């Protein structure tokens, strides 16, 4: 059974004078532990689709199923979000920031401490728990944001351009880090990105949306040879350029 089923999703935004159809008949499934990317022209509805999957927006048409269960806005699945900005609270320490989601759950403070320490170690920042976000670089802050997301053990991770605010070197390092960490935790993830290279490097499948309204134009299966590599290694592989050119050509054909 598919872990996530996106079934005939359609969405329109309504104002007092008009309705704007943003998504039409979006249909795909994601398996447990799979990493899928959404790409497409600006304004084709990628963020709207993520918000629908997260249960933040009720679609005008269609349904979302997680593990076969129909999702409702009243009872959304436990979703982890990673965004372009890290949204760490500047007045809280790194450890307190990681604990924010955990505090809403019924665990003891001692259990929180164990989780936070394990995550700090995992993100390679074991000694920053008592520091404040302003003392960390952009890449380090995004690693903390990932730890905060993983702390609540979400069913699905939704990544909305989480690397786009970083310099190129930090972006490549963080792609590798996030890819390895999510694999390690066997998390199912959906990434929205404008960077075709990033989508190829991180994903098992790339879904290309066309715009006005957003529909699925084509789904690309990333070759097995690339899927076994880290994102950085994928970018060095001989097959990378041909996959890039194939997706680029399709994206260009959309105008
Ligand atoms: N709350 C809203 N109310 C009305 N229109 C909206 C709303 N949110 C988004 N839109 C419109 O819906 C369309 C799709 O927006 P969305 O942000 O989902 O696209 P996107 O593919 O993520 O864009 P980008 O790649 O530029 O980030 C756009 O035309 C946008 O202006």
Q: What is the ipTM of this complex?
A: 0.97
Residue whose CA is at the smallest distance from ligand 1 atom 29 = 43
Q: Is the CB of 47 inside a 6 Å radius of any atom of ligand 1? A: yes
Please enumerate in sequence order all residues whose Cβ is within 8 A of that of 115, keeping only pairs 6 or more positions apart, or say none. 102, 107, 151
Contact 118, 98 (CB under 8 A): no
Q: How far is the CA of 203 from the centre of ligand 1 (A)?
A: 24
pTM: 0.91
Contact 129, 116 (CB under 8 A): yes
Q: Is the CB of 251 inside a 6 Å radius of any atom of ligand 1? A: no
What is d(CA 251, CA 15) in angstroms, rounded to the nearest whole number? 30
Tell me the C-alpha to C-alpha distance, in Å, between residue 99 and each of 122, 154, 235.
Answer: 15, 14, 35
Q: Is the CB of 59 inside a 6 Å radius of any atom of ligand 1? A: no
Tens of pLDDT along the chain (255 residues) come to 789 999 999 999 998 889 999 999 999 999 999 999 999 999 999 999 999 998 888 999 999 998 888 887 777 667 888 888 888 999 999 999 999 887 776 667 777 888 899 999 988 999 999 999 999 998 899 899 989 988 888 889 999 998 888 888 888 988 998 899 889 889 999 999 999 999 999 999 999 999 999 999 999 999 999 998 999 999 999 999 999 999 999 999 987
Neighbours of 224 (CB within 10 A): 8
């Amino acid at each position: 059974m598919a872990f996530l089923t996106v079934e005939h999703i359609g969405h329109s935004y309504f104002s007092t004078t008009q309705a704007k159809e943003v998504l039409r008949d979006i249909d795909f499934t994601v398996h447990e532990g799979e990493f899928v990317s959404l790409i497409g022209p600006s304004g084709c509805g990628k963020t709207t689709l993520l918000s629908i999957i997260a249960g933040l927006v009720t679609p005008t048409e269609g349904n979302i199923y997680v593990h076969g269960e129909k999702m409702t806005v009243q009872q959304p699945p436990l979703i982890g979000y990673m965004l372009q900005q890290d949204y760490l609270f500047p007045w809280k320490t790194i450890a307190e920031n990681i604990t924010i989601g955990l505090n809403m759950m019924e665990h003891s403070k001692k259990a929180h401490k164990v989780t936070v320490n394990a995550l700090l170690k995992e993100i390679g920042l074991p000694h920053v728990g008592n520091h404040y976000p302003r003392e960390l670089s952009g890449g380090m802050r995004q690693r903390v944001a990932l730890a905060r997301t993983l702390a609540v053990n979400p069913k699905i991770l939704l990544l909305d351009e989480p690397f786009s605010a970083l310099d190129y070197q930090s972006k490549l390092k963080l792609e590798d880090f996030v890819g390895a960490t999510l694999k390690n935790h066997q998390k199912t993830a959906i990434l929205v990105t404008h960077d075709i290279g990033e989508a190829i490097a991180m994903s098992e499948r790339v879904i290309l949306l066309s715009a006005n309204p957003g529909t699925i134009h084509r789904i690309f299966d990333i070759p097995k040879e690339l899927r076994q590599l880290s994102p950085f290694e994928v970018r060095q592989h001989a097959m990378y350029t041909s996959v890039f050119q194939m997706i680029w050509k399709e994206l260009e054909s959309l105008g």
